[in-house]
Chains A and B, each alone.
Chain A
């Protein structure tokens, strides 16, 4: 068994809402679990399904994609398109026998620092409950 206490979780954040919200949690010194590593993109619309699959085949235990609330996207509708793709990816994960909860999409605005901390706690708890990714075991 891999070390369950240290899950590997990738967070892909949009620049305008969720990344700013995460920064706000920092300025407010809101403490949250340290298990998510962040890659910044301009918009969640940029999140290629390839990135998700790459992360899981590389051994990620979970992937968090976080963008603006619907109607708030800096690029009008990138988050809608991303959300659609994430639904598709979730069913794909199920199709290959993985728990679709390992992929999560959330919507955190630039003013929701406290919510960001809650989201991270929630994601980390979920992944800890699920344990290491089965894909990780297979690719070993």
Chain B
């Protein structure tokens, strides 16, 4: 079986290659490709990787704007009915043709039990086949950003899934392996040749791809290299052509090496601090009987005690963009010039604390991951020492993400003060307002609002943003909602960390701010 697919792959590779030229892209990433099933895990790397094999109705260009992919065009027929016209003549990699049935099938599959991408079709009440190449999506309420996340909702072949018994995604809790876990059949520019779980994955170009290939690759090999120094060494020694992420302390070395360079760019993830504002008494503090974080002055004092430029210069080695907002400039509603950070002012911070009745400061526990974000623990240590200068004694508990998330996420919410990062999957402010600023309730609102910040006016506006279809009005509402949360100091935004890709000089590629790596933009000299 493996030998056969190797032969086929080799034949294709030969057919596609320019005479006598093999252009192989070898790349390494810190993490692992979890499953080839595109509905299994809503995670950037896995979905980004699969975006080379599978395609959605839409796709994102390198600057993240939405462009047509499997749907040639779409229109909003009524506020609650979107029509998508499928591209004709698109073939899956097994040779079957893409039709509306495949879209309907994928819509069912992505909403089935075991799918982690159910939210892609949240609010869609009906998917209707108009004809073989036209599909209507009916929503329960107007939704102007219905298709914002559809570039990672990949369309699967109904015939293929039925033939191989993969009509449902593999439930995380299931007892049997699903065929789609180790096999893929997309419409995209590349197809899987071999996939050794957790070791190596090899892909070759799809000769029947509908779009014109602008890359010149004949083969792509992915290997996970988890250890930072090994990943950097593999890049420096030329054993891989691209590796990411490059640790900040190794960037200079990669740049100094004659054959390699670092591509740094802003990422969409915002790193921030959160404070418990809902308990009447903090879980980890020496102040009993009241919660200092309920006092706006205390939150402001914390904000003003943090020297974000020092964090940028010392901890992040210049690789961060201090942020006034809880969303990055690349996100809809982000980069609003209306907002600036509260200035760093330890004296004012002390004065505010004194005014709030904490002239001698107080103690508080802080939770921090140490293997999740770029230099996360070091950021927390810097915050601890900065707060110490205004009299706040912070007891830091930095631990691996598996323990950290168990402690701080709902339902336990076992934290008083924490560091977290967030990228809205839809690249839109609504996601952040809803998940991180909404008053937590049973519906899932405020799911990641771990400090329980709650302002009903913000909630009201957030709900309106969801269904407002006029772009200008919507932008105004988003801006006003942000104004309220910033005024309240709901959280303390820190910065957007920088992407850090190490690339061989013979490789040209497009770096996307969402940290997805698309090989169709790669050329090798």
Does chain A bind chain B?
A: no
> What residues of chain B have their CB less than 8 Å away from a CB belonging to chain A?
none
> What residues of chain A have their CB less than 8 Å away from a CB belonging to chain B?
none
